[in-house]
């Protein structure tokens, strides 16, 4: 059986004190070096939380290989097909026992096999054509397609997106201190108004913000302004168009409240005769002086939602959660596209939300045909 362990403090890729970086160990507790090099490759393009998810999938994969006394280079399409069925039907797998989870694991395994082949560890493991054990098609942007990755239609679940007024309500029940409240509200707005994922919000850097003059000009012209993203799902660079007022409010936070965090931690480090290197991230933790983590932000949103329910401002069914902010953004995108009678609205929303395919939007359009949704 393979084991997953994570670091409490490590230097990875030139970055110090990385917490939660994954290591996959074999059944005799040796480091799986092939998997580790693959994780290093992913880390150049993704956050620690993302590579940890990939590592969880690979740990499951290697555990199954060890059951059959197999090596990764013994894998083929038939084995993957049987493995996916096992993932769906195995006993005691809990809520992850779905076609969706199985497809995610297979996707990670296929990408791993393709990487091993490209790195020269095998000539026949994974590639395009009948000569390969795992047969794939490569997309125009370097993506990998495999017949086992796509979810079954029977597994699609539509999740009700939180309404904008619900989201505004939980802001009232966020942190009470003014600086923390302002940061909390801004991070929520980057999810709801820009459609950013949790790790994309937390890894925004100051130099990514358009300058104030450009933001005010876009505000006067009533046009959205472009933001480039460098930490995204899948590690590919991207861009989004956001309301200029969001940019100006973020600059206000940077100039006033973020500066106070920097001063505080410089003072703390100075008292310890240590140097404090100012992070480039926009949203900093008051406690650590480092960027706010996705888990921390998720917990704050959850806490605010529960407080709103307790105070009878929302019901338990009017649920607001961190990724739900992105659901709201996408559902509103569908509504706008329909109202403007945009040709191929699915493609319009796919591009604005940075999804790779129209199929991946399934379940995000819950408010599309609800007249009251906003």
The per-residue pLDDT for range 318-347, each reduced to its tens digit, is 999 999 999 999 889 888 888 888 888 888
Which segment of 28-37, 64-73, 93-102, 191-200 scores lowest on mean pLDDT? 93-102
pLDDT average, residue stretch 56-76: 93
Confidence of residue 48 (pLDDT cuts 50, 70, 90): confident
- Residue 105 CB coordination number (10 Å): 23
- Domains of the chain in start order, with CATH, are 3-155 (no CATH), 164-361 (1.10.443.10)
* Residues 50 and 42 sit within 8 Å (Cβ to Cβ): yes
Structure confidence at residue 45 (pLDDT): 75
The residues, any chain, with a CB within 8 Å of residue 72's CB and separated by 6 or more, are 34, 62, 65, 112, 113, 116, 125
Rounded Cα distance, 171 and 181, in Å: 8
Strongest mean pLDDT among 42-51, 137-146, 328-337: 328-337
Task: Calculate what percentage of the chain has a pLDDT beyond 90.
Answer: 59
How far, rounded to the nearest angstrom, does the alpha carbon of residue 150 sit from its chain's CA centroid?
19
Structure confidence at residue 95 (pLDDT): 41
pLDDT average, residue stretch 66-87: 93
How far, rounded to the nearest angstrom, does the alpha carbon of residue 283 sit from its chain's CA centroid?
17
* Residues 204 and 283 sit within 8 Å (Cβ to Cβ): yes
Structure confidence at residue 345 (pLDDT): 83
> What 3-state class would DSSP assign to 183?
helix
* Neighbouring-strand partners of residue 3: 25
Whether pTM > 0.85 for this model: the answer is no
Model confidence pLDDT, tens digit, residues 248-288: 999 999 999 999 999 999 999 999 998 888 999 999 999 99
Q: Which has more confidence, 70 or 142?
A: 70
Rounded Cα distance, 327 and 13, in Å: 33
pLDDT average, residue stretch 163-173: 95
Strongest mean pLDDT among 42-51, 196-205, 233-242: 196-205
> What 3-state class would DSSP assign to 360?
helix
Confidence of residue 219 (pLDDT cuts 50, 70, 90): very high
Which segment of 137-141, 197-201, 301-305 scores lowest on mean pLDDT? 137-141
Q: Is the model's pLDDT at 152 over the cut of 70?
A: no
Backbone φ and ψ for 359, nearest 5 degrees, come out as -60, -30
Model confidence pLDDT, tens digit, residues 81-137: 999 988 887 755 444 446 778 888 999 999 999 999 999 999 999 999 889 999 998
Which segment of 20-34, 142-156, 329-343 scores lowest on mean pLDDT? 142-156
Rounded Cα distance, 356 and 124, in Å: 27
Q: Which has more confidence, 21 or 191?
A: 191
Confidence of residue 352 (pLDDT cuts 50, 70, 90): confident
Rounded Cα distance, 40 and 42, in Å: 5
The mean of the pLDDT values for the chain is: 87
* Residues 199 and 334 sit within 8 Å (Cβ to Cβ): no
Residue with tokens 């100075």: 270
Task: Calculate what percentage of the chain has a pLDDT beyond 70.
Answer: 90
pLDDT average, residue stretch 151-158: 45
* Residues 205 and 22 sit within 8 Å (Cβ to Cβ): no
Q: Which two tokens stand for residue 278?
A: 């100012």
Kind and range of the H or E element at 120?
none
Q: Is the model's pLDDT at 140 over the cut of 70?
A: no
pLDDT average, residue stretch 205-209: 95
Structure confidence at residue 370 (pLDDT): 75
* Residues 239 and 227 sit within 8 Å (Cβ to Cβ): yes
Structure confidence at residue 276 (pLDDT): 87
pLDDT average, residue stretch 301-322: 93
What DSSP string describes 294-339?
Answer: HHHHHHHHHHHHHHHHHTTSS-TTS---TTHHHHHHHHHHHHHHHH
Rounded Cα distance, 105 and 88, in Å: 11
Alpha helices in the chain (DSSP H): 33-43, 48-67, 77-89, 99-118, 164-171, 178-192, 198-202, 212-220, 244-253, 259-271, 294-310, 324-339, 345-353
Q: Name the residue among 33, 88, 90, 41 with its Cα closest to residue 62.
A: 33
Three-state secondary structure readout of 34-81: HHHHHHHHHHCCCCHHHHHHHHHHHHHHHHHHHHCCCCHHHCCHHHHH
The residues, any chain, with a CB within 8 Å of residue 230's CB and separated by 6 or more, are 205, 208, 237
């Amino acid at each position: 059986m393979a084991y997953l362990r994570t670091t409490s403090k490590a230097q990875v890729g030139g970055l110090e004190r990385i917490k939660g970086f994954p290591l996959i160990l074999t059944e005799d507790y040796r480091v799986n070096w092939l998997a580790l090099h693959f994780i290093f490759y992913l880390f150049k393009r993704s956050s620690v939380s993302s590579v940890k998810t990939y590592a969880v999938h690979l740990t499951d994969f290697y555990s199954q290989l060890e059951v059959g006394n197999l090596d990764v280079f013994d894998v083929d399409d038939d084995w993957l097909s049987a493995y996916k069925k096992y993932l769906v039907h195995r006993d005691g797998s809990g809520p992850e026992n779905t076609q969706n989870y199985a497809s995610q694991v297979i996707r990670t395994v296929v990408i791993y096999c393709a990487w091993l082949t490209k790195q020269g560890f095998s000539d026949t493991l994974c590639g395009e054509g009948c000569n390969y054990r795992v047969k794939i098609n490569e997309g125009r942007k370097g993506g990998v397609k495999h017949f086992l990755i796509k979810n079954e239609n029977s597994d699609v679940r539509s999740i009700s997106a939180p309404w904008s007024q619900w989201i505004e309500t939980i802001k009232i029940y966020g942190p009470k201190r003014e600086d923390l409240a302002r940061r909390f509200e801004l991070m929520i707005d980057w999810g709801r108004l820009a459609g950013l994922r949790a790790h994309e919000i937390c890894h925004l850097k100051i130099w990514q913000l358009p300058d104030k003059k450009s933001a005010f000009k876009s505000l006067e012209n009533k046009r959205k302004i472009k933001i480039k993203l460098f930490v995204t799902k899948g590690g590919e660079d991207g861009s989004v168009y956001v309301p200029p007022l969001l940019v100006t409010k973020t600059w206000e936070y940077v100039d006033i409240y973020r500066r106070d965090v920097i001063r505080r931690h410089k003072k703390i480090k100075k008292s310890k005769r240590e140097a404090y290197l100012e992070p480039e991230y926009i949203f900093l933790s008051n406690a650590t002086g480092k960027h706010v983590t996705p888990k921390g932000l998720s917990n704050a949103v959850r806490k605010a939602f529960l407080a709103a329910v307790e105070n009878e401002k929302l019901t338990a069914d009017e649920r607001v959660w961190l990724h739900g902010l992105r659901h709201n953004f996408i559902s509103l995108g569908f509504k706008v596209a329909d109202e403007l009678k945009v040709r191929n609205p699915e493609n319009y929303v796919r591009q604005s939300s940075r999804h790779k395919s129209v199929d991946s939007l399934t379940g995000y359009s819950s408010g599309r045909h609800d007249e009251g949704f906003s």
